Amino acid sequence: MSLKYRGVNYELATSQVAVSEEVIGHYRGAVSVRHLAKQVKAEHPQGLKYRGAVVR
């Protein structure tokens, strides 16, 4: 998917994350579910820019 913001084209970067569901309770007949990531990646994308300045 191609995105555009203020005239600059971007590509959508999606990541596949394995998610598990945990039922934490019921409220007014509806089930409350919490989504938990099985593996958490702590990656910082390289090459980020904000208003032309490189962000570390």
Per-residue pLDDT of the chain (56 residues; tens, 9 = 90+): 678 888 888 887 777 788 899 999 999 999 999 998 887 767 767 778 888 888 87
- Write down the pLDDT at residue 49: 84
Using the 8-state DSSP alphabet, how is residue 21 labeled? Answer: E
- CA 8 to mean position of chain CA atoms: 21
- Write down the pLDDT at residue 24: 93
Q: Residue 40 and residue 19: Cα distance in Å, rounded?
A: 10
- Write down the pLDDT at residue 26: 94
